[in-house]
Amino acid sequence: MVLVIDIGNTTCRFGLFKDDEILAVWKIITSAQKTSDEYLILINDWFLQNNYKKEDVIGVVISSVVPNVMHSFINAANKAFNIAPLIVKAGIKTGIFIQTPDPKEVGADRISDAVAGYYLYGGPCLVLDFGTATTYNLVSPDGIFIAGVTAPGIQISADALWSKAALLPHIEITEPPSILTKTTITSMQAGIVYGHVGAVEYIVKKMKEESGYHDAKIIATGGYAQIINKVTDIIDVYDPMLTLRGMKIIWDKNYAKK
């Protein structure tokens, strides 16, 4: 089995693979305050409660956009499995070529998304990840990462709205029944959701136009992708496990033959 750990700004997702099958996925809150021993306890408890054996894990992959938690996670993985984890970053074997001025600037999550988008669904593809930030990652027909766009995520936009306007409440981020809203809550939902959809559709359109990849497959993943997918027809594939699948593909490319 291979364990992949996707460390995001808000949550960390763990995915346990057997061959290409995802056996289980679980989440914890990302916290820079936890020590490696605390993360070790969480990992040990999860394996015990779900009747999986740690000794069956032959590989660990970590993708992180939060540098200050890496030390704790790497040490926890070493202690739990006696394995040095593979860290997703530019320079390891990924199967794609990052054609940017400084490949090291491309985040680990974006690399994993691009790899999964290309190898699972083919190129050209444009992978949209709706997380804390919304990212757009364009991969050419021959597997070259050629461009990326980063925008405020839907939650960031919502947080900014109610933190800067004293009379606006915290609301559930969901599609309202109509854009012709009549209450404060539904008006906020309409602005947040449909405003984000408008930005997504325009950015996708411009990236297709300027790249010339008009037939690029649009693939969506991330925590808020399901909401966006429901209200636009621009998305071809919705895959909530895309990032985790990309990390497993990267592990295979580095270690499977060995």
Between CA 203 and CA 205, with CA 151 as vertex, the angle to 5 degrees is 5
Lowest mean pLDDT among 53-57, 161-165, 229-233: 161-165
Neighbours of 11 (CB within 10 A): 14
> How high is the pLDDT of residue 257?
63
109 is catalytic: yes
Q: What is the pTM of this model?
A: 0.92
Please name each of the domains of the chain with its CATH number. Answer: 2-87 (3.30.420.40), 97-246 (3.30.420.40)
Asked if 154 contacts 131 with a C-beta cutoff of 8 angstroms, the reply is no
Q: Tell me the per-residue pLDDT of 202-256, one tens digit each, with 9 for 90 and over.
A: 999 999 999 999 999 999 999 999 999 999 999 999 999 999 999 999 999 998 7
Angle between helices 154-164 and 184-211 (to 10 degrees): 140
> How high is the pLDDT of residue 237?
97
Residue 225's nearest CA partner among 247, 207, 243 is 243
Residue partners of 234: CB distance under 8 A and separation at least 6: 200, 201, 204, 218
Tell me how far apart the alpha carbons of residues 250 and 60 are, in angstroms, rounded to a whole number: 11
Single out the catalytic residue among 19, 45, 109, 236: 109
Per-residue pLDDT for 165 more than 90? no
Per-residue pLDDT for 258 more than 60? no
